[in-house]
């Protein structure tokens, strides 16, 4: 019994030790982004201090990074997201669009989206979304500006160097955390310890995948700039509009106008019939029902002719007749 209690105590202590190690690992992973921010900001602070010394950064004393004299701090590469918008008006929109596609593909980029629409005034407007490498961004913008009359131009740059450094640091810390949990799983012997470590590993693996997705998105945005090009045709001049209005209508115009009026009239007649049809059907049903009721109902007896009344005549008295004969 004493040996059994000793084994249970040892298993409980091992479980508590594993839980403590996992908690310490999580704390270290949460605190790692701050350390990554300090590491990313350290080279810039060192460069600023070197520039503030007499003689500039070139004459400054060698840095003592990581406690080793004579080593220069690693330069931090800036990470910038660049976007641009261009509006061009030209009488040759197809040529300008072809030039834009060629410029993007020649710079190592590609055409993302393309759309074309016709406005109420009859003008065609096409929009292209180009993705080009960051080092060729300005060259492509300059090549597109000369395609016609420049209506608008806007270029923006967003510095995401600190965000990239933070995400990179968090990815490294999370990868190390996942590796440590896997090592613990290899050494664990109890079933409860294995189950607890598997749950912790799944959670940390999901966090790592989310961080990797953010890292890939930032790399794509910083490595490729986005240019939105809008190409439109010039508006017709007032003289051209007046000339079109003064032109007499041709036979084709008259025919198309007559057909339009005829089709419109037919459409309205059909709509009127469709509106009246429910009421007509209801009236027909009412009439048919009334006729059926009249047929099924028994007929009332018709009254006959009234009898003719003949006036009654009284008979003549007998005695009076005899007397008259005798006389």
Task: State the angle between helix axes of 161-187 and 2-52 in degrees (0 to 180), rounded to the nearest 10.
Answer: 160
Is-contact 124 116, C-beta < 8 A? yes
Q: 5 pLDDT exceeds 50?
A: no
* pLDDT tens sequence across 263-320: 898 888 888 888 888 888 888 888 888 888 777 776 666 665 665 565 666 565 555 5
Report the Cα 96 to chain-centroid distance in Å: 29
Give the residue from 278, 222, 291 showing the smallest Cα distance to 82.
Answer: 222
* pLDDT tens sequence across 216-253: 999 988 889 999 999 998 877 766 555 555 666 676 77
Query: What would the two tokens of residue 285 be?
Result: 């049903």
CB atoms within 10 A of CB 133: 15
* pLDDT tens sequence across 6-25: 444 444 545 555 555 455 45
pLDDT above 90: percentage of residues in the chain: 20
Query: What would the two tokens of residue 219 be?
Result: 């790399």
Q: 27 pLDDT exceeds 80?
A: no
Q: Could you tell me the CA-to-CA distances from 319 to 25, 42, 313, 323 in Å, in that order?
A: 161, 170, 18, 6
* Side-chain half-sphere CA neighbours of 246 within 13 A: 6
| 64 strand-pairing partners | 71
Question: What pLDDT does residue 73 have?
Answer: 54
* pLDDT tens sequence across 121-139: 778 889 999 999 988 998 9
Task: Report residue 185's pLDDT band, with 50, 70 and 90 as the boundaries.
Answer: confident
């Amino acid at each position: 019994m004493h040996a059994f209690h000793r084994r249970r105590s040892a298993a409980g202590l091992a479980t508590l030790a594993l839980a403590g190690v996992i908690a310490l690992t999580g704390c270290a992973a949460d605190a790692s982004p701050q350390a990554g921010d300090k590491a990313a900001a350290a080279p810039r602070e060192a460069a600023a201090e070197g520039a503030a010394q007499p003689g500039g950064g070139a004459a400054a004393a060698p840095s003592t990074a990581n406690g080793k004299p004579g080593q220069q701090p690693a330069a931090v590469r800036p990470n910038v997201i660049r976007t641009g918008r261009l509006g061009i008006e030209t009488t040759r929109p197809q040529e300008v669009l072809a030039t834009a596609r060629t410029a993007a593909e020649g710079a190592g980029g590609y055409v993302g989206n393309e759309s074309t629409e016709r406005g109420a005034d009859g003008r065609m407007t096409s929009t292209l979304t180009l993705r080009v490498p960051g080092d060729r961004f300005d060259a492509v913008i300059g090549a597109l500006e000369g395609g016609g009359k420049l209506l608008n131009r806007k270029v923006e740059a967003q510095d995401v160097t600190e965000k990239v450094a933070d995400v990179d640091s968090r990815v490294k810390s999370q990868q190390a955390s996942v590796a440590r949990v896997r090592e613990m799983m290899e050494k664990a012997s109890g079933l409860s310890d294995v189950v607890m470590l598997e749950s912790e590993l799944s959670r940390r693996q999901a966090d790592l995948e989310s961080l990797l997705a953010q890292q890939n998105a930032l790399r794509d945005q910083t490595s490729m700039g986005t240019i939105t090009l809008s190409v439109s045709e010039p508006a017709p001049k007032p003289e051209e509009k007046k000339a079109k209005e003064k032109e007499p209508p041709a036979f084709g115009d008259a025919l198309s106008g007559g057909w339009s009026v005829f089709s419109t009239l037919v459409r309205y007649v059909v709509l009127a019939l469709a509106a009246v049809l429910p009421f007509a059907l209801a009236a027909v049903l009412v009439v048919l029902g009334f006729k059926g009721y009249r047929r099924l109902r028994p007929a009332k007896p018709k009254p006959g002719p009234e009898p003719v009344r003949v006036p009654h005549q009284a008979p003549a008295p007998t005695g009076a007749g005899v007397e008259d004969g005798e006389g």
